[in-house]
Homo-oligomer: A and B are copies of this chain.
Amino acid sequence: MTELRVVCHQLAPRIGEPDYNRALTERAIRGATSLNTQVIVLPELIQSGYVFTDLEEAHTASEALDGPTLSLWKSLAAELNIIIVAGFCERLSAGRVANSAALVEPTGRLTVYRKAHLWNREKLIFTPGDSPPPVVNTAVGRIALMICYDLELPEWVRLAAIAGADLLCAPVNWPNAPRPADERPAEIVRVQANAAVNRMFIAACDRYGEERGVDWVGGSVIVDADGYPLAGATSHPEEQQLVADLPLAQARDKSISDHNHVHQDRRPGLY
């Protein structure tokens, strides 16, 4: 198993400007291809922006799985032979919407995950998903999907890891919050721990750019199976393209001593 090159491209969508956002993603995807990238991760809700006033506005911004952004991503994945993971506002039936992530493969296969743990006012707007994080057996490795606040539920991350994920890709929008000087943002610390206790790579792609009074950490990060950052891991609220080469075989070996295995050491009967 060779190394997998992954890019997280931290961008700032504009709410209410879907054409702008779509063009932004195309630029990032084409840019990653020039680095021979096999997987690109883009932020949560990059297709639409984040700070919706209400469900009505989110519904207007939403698109179905055959909408223009998903269609573009399918076309680019096939043209450029790249796997695209990105967040979008998904139009459901009956006027509902989901905070979703797409994994688009060059083969044309589309996997969609709907955020199961909603953050703050998302609960007033989005319908939460009820399905576990998918683990997609792609041509370049087993890739799991979840979104932002999902990462704060270690039980959820565990599901993806036990289902065999080598790499967890997570579009995120991490709202900025106070923290002690010289401390890494807590969201990044949690990503590190999630990776280490599962021996799984994680690529979390954040956004930047103030939107309706909210700003973001700009903390995109790619961590290895020991939980140490390979790229990113600082608050950098500007556009940035993180690149890392992941020796995915490390994620297939869950042994951490002569007698320990991060998953077999679990005692589910006691939890």
Contact = CB atoms under 8 A, between A and B. Distances in A.
Interface residues of A, number: 45
Contact of A152 (B180, B228, B262): B262
A123 interface: yes
A214 to B, nearest CB: 12
Contacts of A17: none
B155 A186 contact: no
A1 interface: no
Nearest to A128: B267
B267 A116 contact: yes
A228 B271 CA distance: 26
Contacts of A119: 257, 259-260
Interface string A257-271: 111101001111011
Closest 3 CB pairs of A and B: A193-B193, A154-B154, A120-B257
15 contacts: A116-B270, A120-B257, A121-B258, A123-B259, A124-B259, A153-B267, A154-B155, A154-B193, A155-B271, A158-B271, A159-B271, A179-B228, A183-B229, A189-B189, A189-B192
